[in-house]
């Protein structure tokens, strides 16, 4: 379903059904594909924001993760690639934590600086290591793994259960994170830190330690998100490959109301609006391509307007 559908295919009634079905499958697959790196990064940011910090340096973390994955996975070992991706993310998250948590620097400003730094570092290292043109580099992507049984679920089965391993890791993370946040002492303490760090301190907790921990977790997840882009999806690295996904993930956290399941659903929704082009093409609707590209952002803005007034952010968010 890559190109526009030929008119002939749309005229025949039988042909039309199969084309639309095929388009629908492509739509669902693209939805999950777009949602996966987004949800990974957003879950990390969720943990950070629950601790009372907003990290717009997430974009840089994803970028560093992608570059780490290139370094680690260049030899063809995908596991090493994901490991290095996570390490790259952790490195950048630690830099952010050092400034924001330890040195108490302003969060938005630090995030901006971190993004600039990552953009410059990955860009110049990439050109330095792989040549000025960034000669078309191609890594083999991790193959999709079919989950026996589940993949046969009608309609959504193939889209949800014929995915690279990292997507299943994400599926497992969502309930795990929910359980940790709402059913363990650690999760309660983290949320307390985000609501009222002073009270948490009086209760004998160390907000700084929880925030450092939260940022390290988001470093791992954001790094994996970048590694997913390189190793499971595009099979190559390009300057600025994160293409704003870190920023979108921050919006997704708000849309998902700071809840793991909400964040997963919001990621799917963003993925679905991005993937809408497959449906529109099959229908033969002539909407300019660039307007498609803008659609997810417009939908996100509209939903934020509807949602943000009615949700409660962690009370201490953004104050250091």
Partner 1 sequence: MRRLARAGVVLAALLLGVLLLGAALGAAGYDAPRALRALWNGSLGSSYALTSSTLVRMVPLALTGLAVALAFRAGVWNIGADGQLLVGAACAMAVGLGTTGFPGSLSLTLALIAGAVGGGAWAWIAAVLRTRFHVFEVITTIMLNFIALDLVAYLVRGPLQEPTHAYPQTVALREAARMPRLLPNSRLHAGLLIAVLAALVIWWVLRTTATGFRIRTAGSNPEAARVAGQIDVVRLTHRALVSSGALAGLAGAIEVTGVTFALYEDISPGYGYTAIAVALLAGLDPLGVLGAAFLFAALESGALAMQREAGVPSVVVAVVEGALILFALVVARPGHRAWMARSRPQRAVNRTAESRS
- Confirm or reject binding of residue 313 to partner 1 (CB under 8 A): yes
Nearer to partner 1, 15 or 123 (CB): 123
With CB under 8 A as the contact rule, the residue among 124, 140, 152, 183 that binds partner 1 is 124
Nearer to partner 1, 17 or 294 (CB): 294
- Confirm or reject binding of residue 17 to partner 1 (CB under 8 A): no
The least CB distance from residue 223 to partner 1, in Å, is 19
* Cβ 47 vs Cβ 258: under 8 Å: no
- Confirm or reject binding of residue 199 to partner 1 (CB under 8 A): no
Q: What is the DSSP letter of 294?
A: H
- Count of alpha carbons within 13 Å of 27, Cβ hemisphere only? 18
Q: How far is CA 105 from CA 53, 99, 100, 102, 319, in A?
A: 12, 6, 5, 8, 10
Please give the Cα distance from 60 to 88 (Å, whole number). Answer: 10
Structure tokens at 268: 């799917």
With CB under 8 A as the contact rule, the residue among 21, 75, 109, 209 that binds partner 1 is 109
Nearer to partner 1, 159 or 253 (CB): 253
3-state secondary structure labels for all residues of 79-141: HHHHHHHHHHHHHHHHHHHHHHHHCCCCHHHHHHHHHHHHHHHHHHHHHHHHCCCCCCCCCCC
- Confirm or reject binding of residue 121 to partner 1 (CB under 8 A): yes
* Cβ 267 vs Cβ 83: under 8 Å: no
What mask of x and - would describe binding to partner 1 in positions 134 to 153, judged by CB under 8 A? --------------------
Nearer to partner 1, 154 or 309 (CB): 309
Residue numbers at the binding site for partner 1 (CB under 8 A):
54, 56, 99, 103, 105-110, 112-121, 123-124, 127-128, 132, 239, 244, 247-248, 250-251, 254, 288, 290-291, 293-294, 297-298, 300-301, 304-306, 308-309, 311-313, 315, 317-319
């Amino acid at each position: 379903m890559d190109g526009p559908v030929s008119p002939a295919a749309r005229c025949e009634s039988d042909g039309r059904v199969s084309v639309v079905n095929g388009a629908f499958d492509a739509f669902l697959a693209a939805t999950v594909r777009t949602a996966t790196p987004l949800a990974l990064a957003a879950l990390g940011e969720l943990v950070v924001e629950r601790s009372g910090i907003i990290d717009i340096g997430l974009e840089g973390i994803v970028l560093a993760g992608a570059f780490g994955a290139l370094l680690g996975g260049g030899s063809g070992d995908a596991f090493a690639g994901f490991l290095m991706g996570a390490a790259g993310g952790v490195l950048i998250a630690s830099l952010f934590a050092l400034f924001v948590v330890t040195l108490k620097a302003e969060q938005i400003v630090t995030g901006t600086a971190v993004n600039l730094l990552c953009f410059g570092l990955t860009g110049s290292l990439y050109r330095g290591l792989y040549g000025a043109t960034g000669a078309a580099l191609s890594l083999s992507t991790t193959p999709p793994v079919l989950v026996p049984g589940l993949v046969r679920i009608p309609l959504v089965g193939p889209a949800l259960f014929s995915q690279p391993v990292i997507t299943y890791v994400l599926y497992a993370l969502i309930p795990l994170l929910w359980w940790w946040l709402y059913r363990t002492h650690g999760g309660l303490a983290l949320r307390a830190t985000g609501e009222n760090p002073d009270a948490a301190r009086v209760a004998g907790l160390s907000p700084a330690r929880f925030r450092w921990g939260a940022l390290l977790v988001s470093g791992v997840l954001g790094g994996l998100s970048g590694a997913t882009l390189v190793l499971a999806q595009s099979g190559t690295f390009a300057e600025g490959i994160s293409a704003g996904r870190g920023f979108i993930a921050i919006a997704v956290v708000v849309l998902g109301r700071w809840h793991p399941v909400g964040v997963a659903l919001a990621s799917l929704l963003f993925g679905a609006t991005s993937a809408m082009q497959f449906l529109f093409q099959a229908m033969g609707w002539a909407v300019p391509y660039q307007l498609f590209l803008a659609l997810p952002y417009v939908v996100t803005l509209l939903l934020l307007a509807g949602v943000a007034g009615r949700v409660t952010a962690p009370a201490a968010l953004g104050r250091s």
